[in-house]
């Protein structure tokens, strides 16, 4: 096979490399000597291999019968940029502890594997590792330091198709764009950005850019650090992950701006989303923006999780999403001095929601600390955070539209009513009705009525009723009927009217207000008996009952008789009013909510 003229004179190291590729052995130029970047830059020609030699070995032009192990090289300095663009080859590239001062171009290449371990890559104007459109079974970039000054990323894997990705322990730095640009990346199995992985980027695009990526297995970012002082740390909008996503165990992310430190808007995760022990910070926007996120299993926010955000939208945003199992938010601290700490508006959780334990939520600004309006919980709702604070105590919580199964856990009914009364910014009927319905379903009818009475009191005291007449009617029905839930109060009022009428008839009757009725056989008048006085009183105070006492004892034309007559009119009106109120309360006609 003809050798390119430029490569006609291979150095001894390059010839050795060709021989090792054909025999399937690793060419180790470092041996037991320590390897760091300082040592790499001091290597002389005896440790140097031209980038063109690597290209022609991969193409099969120098090692015509390459072993399936591929090109395996350790402890070398690569001169020039390795150009594998558009190459289709069966030879894998495996570089360990090598210095590539101009990086690698593997755009649209088709290779069995690219393996970089402990290497140093850099480039002053292009991605240090550009593998956009790469197709490879294995892409490993572990314990490798990559530095670039490109708006296209330090590592570029956009539209690449890989079976497996492992960047564990690598450190990526780019002061002009993303550190890891993998827009529309497709990975059949797992992706590992863990074990000390570090990505520091700059600009509007994220330090790690995974928008529209598809990962068949899990995305594991345990013990990783992502940073971008001018935009998101991780952008994974409309990502699809077949298993779980793990941003936990000393995971740290620092971002800026309205798109959030972690952006998962419209994403789809079939397994678990785990933030255990993560630390997130954004001085000018959300820590997590996950509007419309779909998660098939649990979402876990605990283990000392800390998130600091800013702005009205919130620090943790899960609006309009769907979680297939549980939302567990326990041992966590979430702060926002100018907006919502936790926003779960219209979120649907098929299992339980736990907001309890060492959970501390701190909010500020014009909105509430925990925005749970429209949250639908298929299981139990557990609510007992350690702290739920806001500069305005009545802006701690919004639960209008919150739906859950059973009774709230971790908080008793009185405490829940107290926070509805004192911790919400405005009156809403639904939270009271939800709580009452839960008690009614549990057979606690008395508690259900008490809750609904508390609801009407809140409606009145929090100025939800605007008309004077409506407020007056509500106060009247509250006093006389318990807002329709205690109609026995009207019966007590009716009984009181009867007692007053009987007492009035007895007192005024003895003072000449009542006298016996004259009959044809008896023209004399006299005092009525006590029983007749009481009977007249019952007739005065009852709208429906007649004792017949008036046939034997009637009003006189005296002043006491006149007083008794007028009093009878008033007492009869009161009796009819109490009777009507009782019927209205008993039938529920006044239970306006």
Q: How far apart are CA 52 and CA 33, in angstroms?
A: 27
Confirm whether 505 is domain-assigned. yes
Q: Give a yes or no: residue 442 inside a domain.
A: no
* Residue 192 domain flag: no
Per the domain annotation, does 205 fall within a domain? no
pLDDT in single tens digits along all 593 residues of the chain: 455 545 568 999 999 999 999 999 999 999 887 788 788 888 888 899 999 999 999 999 998 889 999 999 999 999 999 999 999 999 999 999 999 999 999 999 999 999 999 999 999 999 999 999 999 999 999 999 999 999 999 999 999 999 999 999 999 999 999 999 999 999 999 999 999 999 999 999 999 999 999 999 999 999 999 999 999 999 999 999 999 999 998 999 999 999 999 999 999 999 999 999 999 999 999 999 999 999 999 999 999 999 999 999 999 999 999 999 999 999 999 999 999 999 999 999 999 999 999 999 999 999 999 999 999 999 999 999 999 999 999 999 999 999 999 999 999 999 999 999 999 999 999 999 999 999 999 999 889 888 988 888 887 777 767 777 666 666 666 666 666 677 777 677 778 888 888 888 888 888 888 888 766 554 556 778 888 888 888 887 777 677 777 777 888 888 888 888 888 888 888 887 777 777 776 666 565 55
Count H helices, E strands: the chain? 10, 51
Q: Does 515 map to a domain?
A: yes
* Backbone dihedral angles phi then psi of residue 381, each to the nearest 5 degrees: -110, 110
Half-sphere exposure at residue 25, Cβ-oriented, CA atoms within 13 angstroms: 9
Kindly state whether residue 577 falls inside one of the protein's structural domains: yes
Asked whether residue 497 is domain-assigned, the answer is yes
Number of domains in the chain: 1
- Structural domain boundaries, residue 557: 488-587
**Six-digit token string for 234:** 């991780």
Residue 277 lies in a domain: no
Name every residue whose Cβ is closer than 8 Å to that of residue 249 and which is 6 or more positions away in sequence. Answer: 222, 223, 276, 277
d(CA 385, CA 332) in angstroms, rounded, equals 10
Measured at the CA of 169, the angle between CA 166 and CA 175, to 5 degrees, comes to 100
């Amino acid at each position: 096979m003809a050798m390119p003229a430029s490569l006609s004179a291979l150095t001894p190291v390059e010839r050795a490399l060709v021989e090792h590729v054909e025999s399937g052995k690793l060419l180790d130029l470092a041996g037991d000597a320590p390897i760091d970047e300082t040592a790499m830059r001091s290597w002389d020609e005896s440790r140097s291999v031209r980038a063109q030699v690597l290209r022609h070995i991969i193409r099969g032009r120098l090692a015509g019968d390459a072993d399936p192990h591929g090109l395996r090289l350790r402890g070398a300095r690569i001169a020039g940029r390795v150009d594998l663009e558009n190459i289709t080859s069966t030879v894998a590239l495996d570089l360990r502890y090598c210095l590539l001062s101009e990086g690698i171009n593997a755009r649209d290449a088709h290779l069995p594997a690219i393996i970089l371990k402990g290497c140093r890559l850099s480039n002053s104007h292009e991605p240090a590792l550009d593998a956009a459109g790469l197709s490879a079974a294995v892409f490993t970039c572990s314990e490798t330091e990559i530095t670039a000054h490109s708006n296209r990323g330090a590592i570029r894997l956009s539209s690449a198709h890989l079976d497996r990705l492992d960047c564990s322990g690598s450190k990526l730095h780019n002061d002009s764009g993303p550190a890891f640009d993998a827009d529309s990346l497709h990975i059949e199995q797992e992706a590992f950005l863990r074990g000390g992985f570090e990505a520091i980027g700059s600009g509007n695009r994220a330090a790690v850019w995974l928008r529209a990526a598809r990962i068949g297995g899990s995305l594991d970012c345990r013990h990783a650090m992502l940073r971008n002082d001018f935009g998101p740390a991780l952008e994974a909008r409309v990502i699809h992950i077949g298993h779980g996503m793990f941003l936990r165990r000393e995971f740290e992310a620092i971002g800026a701006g309205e798109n959030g430190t972690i952006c998962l808007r419209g994403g789809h995760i079939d397994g678990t989303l785990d933030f255990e022990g993560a630390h997130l910070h954004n001085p000018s926007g959300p820590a997590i923006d996950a509007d419309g996120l779909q998660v098939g299993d649990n979402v876990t926010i605990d283990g000392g999780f800390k998130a600091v955000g800013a702005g009205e939208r919130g620090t943790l945003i899960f609006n309009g999403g769907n979680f297939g199992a549980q939302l567990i938010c326990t041992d966590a601290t979430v702060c926002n001095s100018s907006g919502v700490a936790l926003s779960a508006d219209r979120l649907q959780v098929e299992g339980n929601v736990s907001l309890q334990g060492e959970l501390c939520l701190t909010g500020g600004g014009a909105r509430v600390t925990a925005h749970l309006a429209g949250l639908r919980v298929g299981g139990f709702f557990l609510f007992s955070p350690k702290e739920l604070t806001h500069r305005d105590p009545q802006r701690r919580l919004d639960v209008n539209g919150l739906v859950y199964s059973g009774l709230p856990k971790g908080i008793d009914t009185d405490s829940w009513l107290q926070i509805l009364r004192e911790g919400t910014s405005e009156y809403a009927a639904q939270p009271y009705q939800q709580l009452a319905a839960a008690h009614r379903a549990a057979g606690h009818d008395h508690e259900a009525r008490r809750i609904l009475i508390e609801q009407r009191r809140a409606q009145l005291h929090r100025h939800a009723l605007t008309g004077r007449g409506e407020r007056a009617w509500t106060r009247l029905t509250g006093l006389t009927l318990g807002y329709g839930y205690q109609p026995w109060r009207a019966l007590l009022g009716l009984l009181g009217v009867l007692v007053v009428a009987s007492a009035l008839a007895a007192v005024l009757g003895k003072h000449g207000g009542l006298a016996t009725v004259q009959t044809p056989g008896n023209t004399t008048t006299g005092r009525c008996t006590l029983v007749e006085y009481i009977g007249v009183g019952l007739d005065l105070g009852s709208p429906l009952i007649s004792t017949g006492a008036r046939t034997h004892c009637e009003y006189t034309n005296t002043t006491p008789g006149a007083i008794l007559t007028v009093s009878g009119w008033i007492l009869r009106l009161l009796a009819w009013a109490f009777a009507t109120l009782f019927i209205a309360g008993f039938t529920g006609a006044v239970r306006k909510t």
